[in-house]
Structure 1
């Protein structure tokens, strides 16, 4: 049987799943293999371009295995292919290996292992297959040399190069982006452009944000982002790697997000996200806000929560980005009066009217994003809905008892009904006109995890 299996130094698979290659010959295939050392879960998933949506059922296989017990202290990670006695022709389009390592202070003191999550992605074009079995093997000790050592203090590790964030020279970032070449440009916003680059000192792909120097308060935006995000570390926030301020240039370096921003999947040309991925993304944004509002050393108001600022890594994990408009909160004040910044359609009404930024105004932005995820529609749209904001349209469906009519038709009814009702209700809850009735991030997380009951919003009817 054609299959993908997980093997541990043996031809007998620990677990396997059917691999439907015959009906996909000639199509671009994507394979993703992730390992999370915290949960000790190894997962392989795949899909072929031209399918209707994301990772479909039976296109993944997983097995719980402790690689820390199996692997030596130094390892090499790579891949290879084999066809047995038959012949076949394949083309490797591209492949990528990324690794994130996180450790707490207590971990270092105890000289315990750093918790590590390994990820890499292989894209394959199958040109011709003449054998009955196609193997994609993950090999430890063969091929591309990426050496990862479980580090302990005093092992001679170069802290100066590894410590992040760090200051980069302008020439380093020029080289990394090939002179900010047009073919390296990932996108453009109101304050600057983002380019794909490669840092040789880290051996990794990065995103370089180039802030327009002629934008009003550009230096303030740059300084603010560096100041705030340098102090933040969370799995659902984009990792800040470094910065550069030379020759009139204002540059920020972040981890590269393979799957771009959420809005390109919901409204753009990227492939449709499956429901389980969407729900995970919503939870990730809520967890990021919980950290910013309650768990960070000083409360941070993001002030520009929107689908375009929700980035997705290789495994479609949520990474909230863009802290140029963020603000540190004086712990003595519940709200702070500021100049109104952000994106139309995601701004809380009290913030627009009075300029008072608060946790509740951030939660309003989250509510709009939650509705966009569930409905697959922009918050504010011309044409069919005659400029009716998405929040108002979904609210009408809710009041009429037909809230599921708002569901994205692109999901083709392939979703969990309870989760869908939950996300739609949470979106409306967070966008209530009365900011005092909006939930905190922690309440949202509990409801989305179905550990708390849904609120009855009929008692909070809009004016």
Structure 2
């Protein structure tokens, strides 16, 4: 892809992305995931959505890449026990605990990427004393959400869009998978076709079964088995 991957722009040496492009990329990624989850003949669970797998063409259109960990399932089936694979920092808590992949675990990963786009911070940021989701959620609860926006944009952004993207990011990364939106619902909010959700001021804590050592050992930080691109 002429413009490489999203992470190079957010965290590497490539030129900084304008807010207009960031929001375009967010909507493009949501649209690609909507196609995978609901609009193809089978549901595709990507299982490794992260900024380095978001590829950008010459016009900064999104192509979601690296389907080496993806799984197909019928639309009417629920979550599938597949074993834990993917990248730490983007994995939904219930996926780590149970090894059960689902549309909701993909949506969680999308939420983390949305927060990365808005804040310019990595999902695992050593400068933060807590995870990215919890850090943004604390600012949301304190009424300071806009302060999480990437400082390198120098306030050159549309505040309503920044707020929308971060709230949708938190909604998608909700610790309780039953309270996350479908990617279609997230898409509608990002397009200002539906109202923003009302989230609790404090990040909820969801309870799951303790992971077994065999499950934990299967979490792989970065595996590339094959790559294909899905765009719309």
Deviations 1:195-223 (A, max 9, x none): xxxxxxxxxxxxxxxxxxxxxxxxxxxxx
Q: Confirm or deny: 8 A CA contact 1:311 1:321 kept in the other structure.
A: yes
> What are the residue-to-residue correspondences of 1:65-80 with 2, within 5 Å?
none
Asked if 1:293 is matched to 2:5, the reply is no
Q: Give, in whole Å, the separation in 2 of the partners of 1:330 and 1:440.
A: 16
Asked if 1:375 is matched to 2:119, the reply is yes
Q: Confirm or deny: 8 A CA contact 1:335 1:358 kept in the other structure.
A: yes
Aligned in 2, Cα 1:308/1:395: closer, same or farther, shift over 3 Å? Answer: same
Q: Give, in whole Å, the separation in 2 of the partners of 1:461 and 1:310.
A: 27
Measured after TM superposition, the shift of residue 333 of structure 1 is 2.2
Asked if 1:400 is matched to 2:136, the reply is no
In terms of fraction of residues, the more strand-rich structure is 1
Q: Confirm or deny: 8 A CA contact 2:138 2:202 kept in the other structure.
A: no
For residue 385 of structure 1, what is the aligned residue in structure 2?
Answer: 128
Unaligned runs of 5+ residues in structure 2 are 206-232
Aligned in 2, Cα 1:460/1:429: closer, same or farther, shift over 3 Å? Answer: farther
Q: Give, in whole Å, the separation in 2 of the partners of 1:351 and 1:322.
A: 19
For residue 172 of structure 2, what is the aligned residue in structure 1?
Answer: 430
> What are the residue-to-residue correspondences of 1:277-426 with 2, within 5 Å?
277-382=21-126, 384-386=127-129, 388-426=130-168
Q: Secondary structure at the match of 1:458?
A: coil
Aligned in 2, Cα 1:441/1:331: closer, same or farther, shift over 3 Å? Answer: closer
Unaligned runs of 5+ residues in structure 1 are 1-256
The TM-score normalised by the length of structure 2 is 0.86
Q: Give, in whole Å, the separation in 1 of the partners of 2:76 and 2:197.
A: 30
Q: Secondary structure at the match of 1:419?
A: helix
The TM-score normalised by the length of structure 1 is 0.44
Pick one of 455, 458, 463 that aligns with 2:197. 455
Measured after TM superposition, the shift of residue 357 of structure 1 is 0.3
Aligned in 2, Cα 1:338/1:420: closer, same or farther, shift over 3 Å? Answer: same
Q: Give, in whole Å, the separation in 2 of the partners of 1:431 and 1:418.
A: 20
Q: Give, in whole Å, the separation in 2 of the partners of 1:460 and 1:437.
A: 15
| Segments of 4+ moved more than 2 angstroms | 330-333
In terms of fraction of residues, the more helix-rich structure is 2
Bigger radius of gyration: 1
Q: Give, in whole Å, the separation in 2 of the partners of 1:293 and 1:299.
A: 5
Measured after TM superposition, the shift of residue 460 of structure 1 is 8.0
> What are the residue-to-residue correspondences of 1:178-327 with 2, within 5 Å?
257-327=1-71
Q: Give, in whole Å, the separation in 2 of the partners of 1:267 and 1:437.
A: 30
Count of residues in correspondence between the two structures: 205
Q: Give, in whole Å, the separation in 1 of the partners of 2:161 and 2:75.
A: 35
Q: Secondary structure at the match of 2:200?
A: helix
Q: Give, in whole Å, the separation in 2 of the partners of 1:410 and 1:282.
A: 18
For residue 198 of structure 1, what is the aligned residue in structure 2?
Answer: none
Q: Give, in whole Å, the separation in 2 of the partners of 1:332 and 1:273.
A: 39
Q: Secondary structure at the match of 1:316?
A: coil
